Amino acid sequence: MKIAVLKERKEGELRVAATPDSIKKFIALGATVTVETGAGNGAALTDEAYRAAGATVETELSTCTQDADIILKVREPEKEELMLMPEGATVVGMLDPYGKKDEFGGYKLKKLTTFSLELLPRISRAQAMDVLSSQSNLAGYRAVIDAVGAFGKVVPMMMTAAGTVAPAKALILGAGVAGLQAIATAKRLGAVVSAFDVRAVVKEQVESLGAKFIEVAAESGEASGGYAKEMSEEYKQKQATLIKDTLAKQDLVICTALIPGKPAPRLITEYMVKGMKPGSVIVDLAAASGGNCALTELDRVVEKHGVTLIGFSNMPSRVSVDASQLYARNVFQFVSTLLMAKDGTASINWEDELITGTLLTRGGETVHKNFI
């Protein structure tokens, strides 16, 4: 089996789908690995490191993909990559199927077998492959670091001869993987932390990290798989009032609320931003899905009504070294467990729920139930 690792071509994407460590493991299983030159540069991984791990490094994309059985990506393939992929090859990556459904035509034309790792069912057997958790965890950490960097004050309480500096107050909207890491990071930095989530079931997790859980006493906001669901209009009105009153007291706000397959819920209006303290900061991790804040601008840092708004769409790429290491481990677990036999040949159980949950296209057809 030949595995090809391609350089990411999307602007701002510094991650890579395989590291020298994961390549050594693929080779130990009997696979050969080809890496496109410069693929690891953004993650501080040199071509020499890949060669030392046993991979062949190719300067031409066409040579890298030639005869490849499995092609590893971080993001969905660009057109130039698709054109050079062998017909019938298998592509594994975060393919953004809800946002990039129009890309399916290219996959089907080349009869590619495509797996989108964001769609992995959240079951215990998939934990080692869970790219959303590994990348969201880093995104939550980096969001707090960016917020603190843009904030004009220190975060912890400081007692000095000149007087006492009050600690910063941080609000985390959404207590999924990214939100919980944001809570933990802000708390470690010394902030007074509050968190909001429509899922009352996360209250214990929030409080275990030392944050105050604020909630609207109403219907459950948990959908299947542990995700949040869209709430009723009555709930949204109560939620808006609670968030508005809470925002007015905050210094740092991290927005992490997402609903799979739908635009991000709008939690912060312009009116709410106007009521915030001058100098406060909002980091919107939902920017790529429309934003939790009405004033977020995609991939820009702007100031509006005295509040700094940060809308980076790819926060994990801002910690690309660790993000690549974790992602590569997730990818290895998926490929080695579900796509390869112990002798390095192809072996796929097409009835496995992890396969059916992530398989988008096969044999020139769209096969995933959510996209047919």
Residue 340, both tokens: 């390869």
Q: Is 197 a catalytic residue?
A: no
Residue 162 carries which DSSP code? T
pLDDT band at 219 (very low <50, low <70, confident <90, very high): low
* Largest separation between any pair of C-alpha atoms in the chain: 72
| Average pLDDT taken over every residue of the chain | 94
Q: Is 122 a catalytic residue?
A: yes
Give the residue-averaged pLDDT of 203-207: 96
What's the Cα-to-Cα distance from 237 to each of 232, 233, 244, 289, 333, rounded to whole Å?
A: 9, 6, 11, 22, 43
Q: Which of 9, 66, 122, 322 is catalytic?
A: 122
- The model's pLDDT over 45-89, given as tens digits with 9 standing for 90+, comes to 999 999 999 999 999 999 999 999 999 999 999 999 999 999 999
- Judge whether residue 189 has pLDDT over 60: yes
- Amino acid of residue 101: K
The CB density around residue 99, as the number of other CB atoms within 10 Å, is 12
Give the residue-averaged pLDDT of 321-343: 96
What's the Cα-to-Cα distance from 288 to each of 49, 191, 200, 222, 298, rounded to whole Å?
A: 33, 27, 26, 22, 7
**Domains in the chain with CATH codes:** 2-130+320-363 (3.40.50.720), 138-318 (3.40.50.720)
- Amino acid of residue 180: L
Dihedral angle sign, alpha carbons of residues 228, 231, 235, 240: positive
Q: Which of 21, 227, 235, 325 is catalytic?
A: 227
Give the residue-averaged pLDDT of 32-38: 98
Q: Is 21 a catalytic residue?
A: no
pLDDT given for residue 17 in this prediction: 98
- The model's pLDDT over 255-310, given as tens digits with 9 standing for 90+, comes to 999 988 899 999 999 999 999 999 999 999 999 999 999 999 999 999 999 999 99
pTM, 2 dp = 0.92
Query: What is the spatial distance between Cα 112 and Cα 194, in angstroms, rounded to a whole number?
Result: 46
- Judge whether residue 44 has pLDDT over 80: yes
Q: Which of 22, 47, 69, 130 is catalytic?
A: 130
